[in-house]
């Protein structure tokens, strides 16, 4: 077993790049005793391995790294973004087409949020695109019930603190009704377009509640350069390799020349 980090790669990273799970989940699996290297169960991710080491996860040999692939998925509401749910709720991964390889999500959408979710068979790409330094903008359309104060929406550009949590700049604009239409009463449903970079847990829901608004529908329309477009609920589209490498050029440039070439 090679423990010289200069001659190999951390085992959690290798597991993630094989598309088995995210690096964070790999660390949890290792701590749970699910990973064996060269016939011995390991309990720490602080291990560097090479192509000569034999790795088994849950008794199965670690799959070989395949070319990196990226998919757009229109997540319906009512699905959780996890591989296994403790409450036995239906998951995104239970509902994907059978022809897809094993994939992990790039970020998450909560149970009742719908719209664009990025999926990849490369856990390292997922980790890279989730990093704050990557800072891809996420765009949403939000249907709210309540009286919208446009000045308060505008003030969100300066950030807001809700129950002790500080949220950075949020670009929020009230969508105008088609000409000729008028709101029949104060507090009718309105649509707001929101763009964020930070993406903290339930950020939009908490901020809208702080403004006295109740969300009745939340749709992610864009994640960085990728858009939902006219995709129907539950549908999947693969991003062309050339487009993927162009949009995530920093990631592929960083990994250029590695032995496990990415697609």
Q: Residue 191: exposed, middle, or buried by beta-carbon count in 10 A (0-12, 13-18, 19+)?
A: middle
Q: Residue 100: exposed, middle, or buried by beta-carbon count in 10 A (0-12, 13-18, 19+)?
A: middle
Instruction: Tell me the C-alpha distance between 43 and 224, whole Å.
Output: 37
CB 63 within 8 A of CB 76: no
Torsion of the alpha carbons at 128, 126, 15 and 253, rounded to the nearest 10 = -50
Cross-strand pairs, 35: 57
Which pairing describes strands 40-41 and 35-37: parallel, antiparallel, or unpaired? antiparallel
Separation of CA 132 from chain center? 12
Catalytic residues: 110
Element (H, E) at 119: strand 114-120
């Amino acid at each position: 077993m090679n423990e010289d980090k200069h001659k190999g790669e951390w085992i959690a990273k290798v597991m993630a790049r094989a598309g088995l799970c995210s690096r964070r989940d790999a660390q949890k699996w290792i701590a749970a005793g699910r990973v064996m290297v060269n016939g011995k169960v390991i309990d720490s991710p602080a291990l560097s391995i090479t192509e000569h080491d034999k790795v088994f996860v849950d008794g199965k040999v670690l799959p070989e790294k395949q070319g990196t692939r990226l998919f757009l998925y229109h997540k319906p509401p009512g699905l959780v973004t996890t591989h296994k749910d403790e409450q036995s709720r239906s998951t995104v991964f239970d509902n994907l087409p059978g022809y897809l390889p094993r994939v992990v999500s790039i970020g998450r959408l909560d149970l009742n949020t719908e719209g664009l979710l990025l999926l990849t068979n490369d856990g390292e790409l997922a980790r890279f695109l989730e990093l704050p330094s990557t800072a891809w903008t996420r765009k949403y359309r939000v249907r709210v019930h309540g009286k919208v104060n446009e000045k308060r929406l505008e003030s969100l550009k300066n950030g807001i603190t809700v129950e002790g949590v500080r949220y950075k700049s949020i670009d929020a604009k009230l969508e105008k009704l088609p000409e000729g239409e008028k709101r029949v009463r104060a507090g009718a449903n309105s649509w707001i377009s929101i763009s964020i970079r930070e993406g903290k847990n339930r950020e939009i829901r908490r901020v809208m509640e702080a403004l006295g608004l109740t969300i009745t529908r939340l749709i992610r329309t864009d994640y960085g350069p990728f858009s939902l477009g006219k995709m129907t609920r539950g549908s999947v589209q693969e991003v062309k390799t050339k487009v993927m490498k162009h949009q995530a050029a920093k990631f592929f440039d960083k990994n250029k020349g590695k032995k496990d070439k990415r697609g």
